[in-house]
Amino acid sequence: MHLPPDLPTPLPMERWLNRLGALVMPLALLVVLLLFLQWPLRDGWGAGSSQANDLAQVLFALYVAVALRHADRRGAHLVSRPDLAHAGRGPVRAMRLLGAPLAVLPWAVFVCINAAPTVWRSVRGLESFPETANPGYFAIKLALLMLAVLLALQALADLWKAMHTLRTPTGAPADPA
């Protein structure tokens, strides 16, 4: 996988997360195929369109859970102040390095703690889709928990790297003498 040149070398956990991202990316094509097949299944075959739609929803939820962490890692997401990415020193640099992980980590932990009981009940009961009674709705709830865990792991890795980066001097100004 190609990462932008300004990203530091990934930690072992990040390499594992990057591999997971690479494995899940083809799901996007499968989602598109399943959504495309809904009309021929409904109009031509007369059955199977709701199953294709429900499976596409499950695969999309799993894809998004992994893809959001992947987009964050690559810096391929929307930001409100893109000029901060080029800030070199001082408080702006610290804010750039620490801001996102310190904002994401508490949210991700909050979601993990609050969603876990609901997700566990859904998985334990193998919850079905309410409209179609097709199995698999529990996987969508599980994807929510997976998203929060992946974002928390990435935030921890980013904090680890930020703390080590901030401890390292950033090249003091040259002595004019």
Q: Are the CB atoms for 51 and 126 separated by under 8 Å?
A: no
* 100 located within any domain: yes
pLDDT score for 118: 95
The type of residue at 56 is: A
Tally of CB atoms within 10 A around 176:
4
* 5 located within any domain: no
* 82 located within any domain: no
Domain count, the chain: 1
* 106 located within any domain: yes
Comparing CA positions, the residue from 27, 35, 101 lying closest to residue 69 is: 101
pLDDT score for 83: 53
Phi and psi at 72, nearest 5°, equal -65, -45
* 66 located within any domain: yes
* 86 located within any domain: no
Helix (H, G, I), strand (E, B) or coil at 128: strand
Question: Half-sphere exposure (CA, 13 Å, Cβ side) for 3?
Answer: 18
Per-residue pLDDT of the chain in tens (177 residues, 90 and over written 9)? 444 445 556 778 888 888 888 888 888 898 899 888 888 888 787 787 888 888 899 999 999 998 888 777 766 665 555 555 555 667 777 777 787 788 889 999 999 999 999 999 999 999 999 889 888 999 999 999 999 999 999 889 888 888 887 776 654 444 444
Q: Are the CB atoms for 109 and 149 separated by under 8 Å?
A: no
Domain that holds residue 140: 12-77+96-167
* 139 located within any domain: yes
Q: Are the CB atoms for 127 and 141 separated by under 8 Å?
A: yes
